[in-house]
């Protein structure tokens, strides 16, 4: 990642292997916008209404974030997936530095057995694999595909504890697997 030390990413579900979320332009816009909005909304219904309205600028439907925008230090979930041999149905990346990458995977093509439970994760890597495992379970049940968007250039330390406190019920209403950006909170 060069001099950039942090990366933001988003795990979601999509209804098609060629969904437009794989295009880095809308993926980048959605990632940045969602990160800001998540810190401002009061509840899940407000988040869902605002994201549906914003997403409609780029595509009519079919993209469902399963996490808030999350952050890692000097590690890329997309690179880690590729290193493990998880071949995407579609993967695109911008050609420049600090490029946004966006990919779509079949949930059945990802093996994530032996992951740490989300509540016990201590590192960004453990948290990603735990979230991915849950997203794959959801994808199989809903007959949807997995989307991962990643973009370098975020400030990791500012993300810790940046989301408003939500109950587990509110988190479930938002269709999110968890409601924190980092293992620290």
pLDDT tens digits for the chain (185 residues)? 445 689 999 999 999 999 999 999 999 999 999 999 999 999 999 999 999 999 999 999 999 999 999 999 989 999 999 999 999 999 999 887 779 999 999 998 887 777 899 999 999 999 999 999 999 999 999 999 999 999 998 889 989 999 999 999 999 999 999 999 999 98
Predicted confidence at residue 5, as pLDDT, reads 83
Q: How far is CA 170 from CA 35, 67, 108, 131, in A?
A: 18, 13, 29, 18
Q: For strand 145-152 and strand 101-105, is the pairing parallel, antiparallel, or unpaired?
A: antiparallel
Predicted confidence at residue 1, as pLDDT, reads 42
Q: Report how far residue 131's alpha carbon sits from residue 178's, in angstroms, rounded to the nearest whole number.
A: 8
Give 133's contacts (C-beta < 8 A, 6+ positions apart): 112, 113, 115
Predicted confidence at residue 4, as pLDDT, reads 61
DSSP assignment letter at 109: G
Give 19's contacts (C-beta < 8 A, 6+ positions apart): 59, 62, 63, 104, 145, 147
Q: Report how far residue 71's alpha carbon sits from residue 35's, in angstroms, rounded to the nearest whole number.
A: 10
Q: What is the reported pTM?
A: 0.95
Cβ-contact 87, 107 below 8 angstroms? no
User: Over the Cα atoms of the chain, what is R_g?
Assistant: 15
């Amino acid at each position: 990642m060069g001099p950039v030390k942090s990366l933001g990413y988003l795990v979601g579900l999509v209804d098609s292997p060629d969904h437009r979320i794989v295009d880095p332009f809308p993926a980048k816009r959605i990632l940045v916008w969602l990160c800001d909005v998540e810190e401002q909304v009061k509840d899940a219904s407000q988040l869902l209404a605002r994201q549906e309205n914003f997403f409609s600028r780029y595509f009519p439907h079919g993209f469902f974030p399963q996490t808030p925008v999350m952050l890692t230090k000097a590690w890329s979930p997309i690179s880690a997936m590729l290193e493990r041999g998880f071949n995407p149905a579609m993967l695109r990346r911008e050609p420049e530095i600090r490029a946004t990458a966006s990919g779509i995977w079949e949930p059945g093509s990802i093996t994530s057995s032996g992951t740490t439970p989300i509540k016990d994760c201590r590192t960004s890597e453990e948290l990603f694999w735990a979230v991915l495992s849950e997203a794959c379970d959801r994808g199989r049940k809903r007959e949807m595909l997995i989307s991962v968007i990643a973009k370098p250039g975020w400030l990791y330390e500012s993300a810790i504890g940046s989301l408003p406190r939500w109950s587990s019920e509110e988190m479930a209403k938002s269709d999110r697997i968890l409601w924190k950006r980092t293992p620290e909170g």
